Amino acid sequence: MAFPFPLTVNPAGHLVIGGVDALELAEQFGTPLYVVDEQVVRDRCRRYREALEPVGGLAVYAAKAFWTGGMAQVVRSEGLGADVSSEAEWRLAMLAGLDASRLVLHGNNKSPAELRLAAEGGVGRIVVDSLWELDELERVAASSGARKVPVLLRLLPDIRAGAHGSIQTGHRHSKFGIPIEGGQAREAVRRCLGSARLDLRGYHVHIGSQILSLEPYRQAARVVAGFAIEMARQLDAPCYEVDMGGGLGVRYVAGDEPPAIEDLIGALAETLEGAFTAAGMEMPLLIVEPGRSIIAEAGVTLYRVGAIKRLAGGEIVCAVDGGMSDNPRVALYQARYTAVLARDPYGTPAEAVEIAGRLCESGDVLVDGAALPEVRPGDVVALLTTGAYHHSMASNYNGLPKPAVVTVREGQARLWVRRERFEDQYACDALVQTLGANRSL
């Protein structure tokens, strides 16, 4: 059967992740279980860092893809910064010891409290998403007494890229960014230059996610450079930094062939350098914000199979003990995955099966037409490439607890996040808390 990338098996023929037998992980930690291969994460971080070294660039990991204490520590120890978009993501970064100067604050509707936290905390850059936010930030900065706040303006370049409509963020109908067209972005530059509180560092763009070709990146780099050069000429605006966002695709199913990290950085650096040099300007600091391409392929979700049935139409449905509560991406983006049987990943496929979740929605299907050897109740199924936008998007729908996260490295497994309990799920429920104090639940 066709895999998106090679898998490791042990002499017993079982799937191995980070040197640990997947069946043992399922046994020891229970299912559903998010497993993160730490070495894969570290390798990706290192590749970004090394690719950026020649141009002196900076990689900031997009926290929203997957953000736990363990992950934040890995990101810090690998020398990356982080892109955060809420108070909680910011606070976790600070707890893990990340330097505020390597943090980037994002969001299309940041609260005044978040702007203040970042401004007073010495944030590296705030990526301003609208003219409204520029005024908000001006007010916050004026009352906080913080030093000049470093600002990148998020530009809306009108480029369509990304695997699904819901993850395309650079086209003219997107809610993100300040439109170049119509003069709003120019107005934002003008206001920054006229402000005693804001320090315009440069520009940002993020065109989408799961992008499998370099052309949209080159196009975006040309648009950003073009705008920066125009603003330098017209308004004498400086451009010290260009942040090209994230979005590099990963391998979910056989045939997904994303560009290499090194080629992405090469294409960005070359396009920007070419444009700025031709205009007689210095090459700005290149920043990138990878999320998915760092964590997605490092993650595997293990599920236990329960009910198996054959429908009247002949299809076989295998239900697992998780579903859209731990993986909403199928319902959100029609995402496709590769599933393997943990006890025999390379086994000859039997009749194709539908792997369904256990939640009360007909759309709760993880893989339609999975090619697995004959599946039996009690089997462990592994879904590949689930590191990004799974744990961070998980819900408690149907009252399911969020799964545990285990990290594996060199044959050792460590618990990063324990499975939720009833008490965790209802910790904020006032009535439950009152009842719980009076009788045992």
What residues are labeled active site?
360
Residue at token pair 């930094």: 241
* Rounded Cα–Cα distance for residues 248 and 293 (Å): 6
In terms of Cβ atoms closer than 10 Å to its own Cβ (0-12, 13-18, 19+), residue 360 is: exposed
Out of 150, 291, 322, 387, which residue is the one contacting ligand PLP (CB under 6 A)? 291
| 130 lines the binding site for ligand PLP (CB under 6 A) | no
Cα–Cα distances (Å) from 23 to 35, 338, 360, in that order, read 12, 18, 27
For residue 102, give both structure tokens: 């390597």
| Closest separation in Å from C-beta 388 to ligand PLP | 6
Torsion of CA 297, 214, 63, 125, to 10 degrees: 160
Residues contacting ligand PLP: total by CB under 6 A:
17
| 289 lines the binding site for ligand PLP (CB under 6 A) | yes
Paired with 423 in beta bridges are none
Q: Which is nearer to ligand PLP, 246 or 345 (CB)?
A: 246
| Closest separation in Å from C-beta 56 to ligand PLP | 20
Out of 37, 78, 83, 129, which residue is the one contacting ligand PLP (CB under 6 A)? 83
| 209 lines the binding site for ligand PLP (CB under 6 A) | yes
Give one word for 95, left, alpha or beta, with left for phi > 0 and alpha for psi -120 to 50.
alpha
Contact (CB, 8 A) for 199 and 134: no
- Consult the annotation and say whether 313 binds a ligand: no
- Consult the annotation and say whether 53 binds a ligand: no
| 247 lines the binding site for ligand PLP (CB under 6 A) | yes
| 251 lines the binding site for ligand PLP (CB under 6 A) | no
Residues 331-390 that bind ligand PLP (CB under 6 A): 388
Q: Which is nearer to ligand PLP, 161 or 283 (CB)?
A: 161
Torsion of CA 130, 133, 135, 136, to 10 degrees: 170
| 168 lines the binding site for ligand PLP (CB under 6 A) | no
Q: x/- contact string, 386-415, with ligand PLP (CB under 6 A)? A: --x---------------------------
Residues 35-64 that bind ligand PLP (CB under 6 A): 62, 64
User: Cis peptide before 32, with omega less than 30 degrees from 0?
Assistant: yes
Only one of the segments 17-25, 231-239, 285-293, 400-408 lies at the binding site for ligand PLP (rule: CB under 6 A); that segment is 285-293
For residue 310, give both structure tokens: 């054959």
Distant-in-sequence, close-in-space partners of 58: CB < 8 Å, separation ≥ 6: 52, 81, 102, 285, 286, 287, 288
Only one of the segments 226-234, 287-295, 329-337, 398-406 lies at the binding site for ligand PLP (rule: CB under 6 A); that segment is 287-295
Cα–Cα distances (Å) from 12 to 15, 342, 346, in that order, read 9, 11, 12
- Consult the annotation and say whether 238 binds a ligand: no
* Rounded Cα–Cα distance for residues 207 and 156 (Å): 8
| 106 lines the binding site for ligand PLP (CB under 6 A) | yes
| 89 lines the binding site for ligand PLP (CB under 6 A) | no
Give the 3-state secondary structure of residue 386: coil
Q: Which is nearer to ligand PLP, 31 or 386 (CB)?
A: 386
Only one of the segments 240-248, 263-271, 273-281, 306-314 lies at the binding site for ligand PLP (rule: CB under 6 A); that segment is 240-248
Out of 201, 292, 329, 409, which residue is the one contacting ligand PLP (CB under 6 A)? 292
Q: Which is nearer to ligand PLP, 106 or 409 (CB)?
A: 106
Contact (CB, 8 A) for 359 and 397: yes
* Rounded Cα–Cα distance for residues 57 and 54 (Å): 8
Cα–Cα distances (Å) from 203 to 153, 238, 335, 396, 414, in that order, read 5, 10, 31, 38, 40
DSSP state of 260: P
Out of 18, 290, 322, 323, which residue is the one contacting ligand PLP (CB under 6 A)? 290
Only one of the segments 41-49, 118-126, 132-140, 246-254 lies at the binding site for ligand PLP (rule: CB under 6 A); that segment is 246-254
- Consult the annotation and say whether 139 binds a ligand: no
Q: Which is nearer to ligand PLP, 32 or 246 (CB)?
A: 246
Out of 14, 110, 206, 329, which residue is the one contacting ligand PLP (CB under 6 A)? 206
Q: Which is nearer to ligand PLP, 168 or 301 (CB)?
A: 168
- Consult the annotation and say whether 361 binds a ligand: yes
Only one of the segments 1-9, 188-196, 226-234, 289-297 lies at the binding site for ligand PLP (rule: CB under 6 A); that segment is 289-297
Paired with 399 in beta bridges are none
CB atoms within 10 A of CB 2: 8
Distant-in-sequence, close-in-space partners of 383: CB < 8 Å, separation ≥ 6: 300, 301, 303, 327, 337, 338, 339, 355, 366, 367
Binding site for ligand PLP (CB under 6 A): 62, 64-65, 83, 106, 206, 209, 245-248, 289-293, 388
Annotated binding site for substrate: 292, 329, 333, 361, 389
Annotated binding site for pyridoxal 5'-phosphate: 247, 289-292, 389
Annotated binding site: 247, 289-292, 329, 333, 361, 389
